[in-house]
Amino acid sequence: MRFLLVEDNLELAKAVVECLGLDGHAIDHAEDIAAAQACIDAASYDLILLDIMLPDGDGRDFLARHRRAKNRTPVIVLTARSQVSDRVGLLDLGADDYLTKPFDFSELEARVRAVLRRQGGVANNSRSFKGVILDSTLGAIMINGESHTLRNRELRLLEVFFSAPEQIFSKSHLMDRLFSFSDDVSENAIEVYIGRLRKKLEGSDAKIETVRGLGYRLVAET
């Protein structure tokens, strides 16, 4: 999935990008509100991680504008403010969760998973299609009782397909979901990952089908 991190503390930002990047997520980093708005204008995101005190303004104003614009992308606020009134104010503005600095990265990862689960309307970190169980926490798929480990980007790509079986995803859309602006890759990378996933789905009742000229979709094996 693709995240936007709005954080002016470069050391913290680097650590967050590395942490979530290891899970296979694509993260664009913006140091201020202007850069964050430019990112939002250029790409769509599954989640925004938002600092409050930024060089060119207050993250709360950014959050309020974000919601007034009917943008439903979930937002986790990263804040040094720990007063109850601060947390209540952030949630009332439209934040989906908040994390008080300094925080443990394992808690950040857990809160990200929780917010994404709520956004997807699921109660846990696993989904199934035609007998194939995708477990995002374990980073694996289960086929006929046998577990197959997924590399991080294989996992994130398969999550896209499991989120909407039968739906066609264009190669450019999959690129957008898997890679950030700083990733220097071509669309051929998607073909490589699709090829790997097809091998891992062998023997199951599901497959990733190529729809010529349009993209790919997860369908039942016939």
Average pLDDT over every residue of 205-219: 96
What the block records as the tokens of 160 is 């896209």
**Spans of all domains in the chain:** 2-120, 126-220
Place of tokens 């846990």: 124
End-to-end Cα spacing for the chain: 29
Whether the predicted pLDDT of 13 surpasses 70: yes
Q: CATH assignment of 2-120, given 3.40.50.2300, 1.20.200.10, 3.90.25.10, 3.40.50.300? A: 3.40.50.2300
Confidence of residue 121 (pLDDT cuts 50, 70, 90): low
| CATH class of the structural domain 126-220 | mainly alpha
- Number of Cβ within 10 Å of residue 107's Cβ equals 11
Average pLDDT over every residue of 175-200: 92
What the block records as the tokens of 104 is 């443990």
* Percent of residues, the chain, with pLDDT higher than 90: 76
User: Over the stretch 34-75, which tens digit does the pLDDT of each residue have?
Assistant: 999 999 999 999 999 999 999 999 999 999 999 999 988 999
State the pTM of this model: 0.83
> Measured between alpha carbons, how far is 93 from 82 in angstroms, rounded to an integer?
16
- Number of Cβ within 10 Å of residue 6's Cβ equals 28
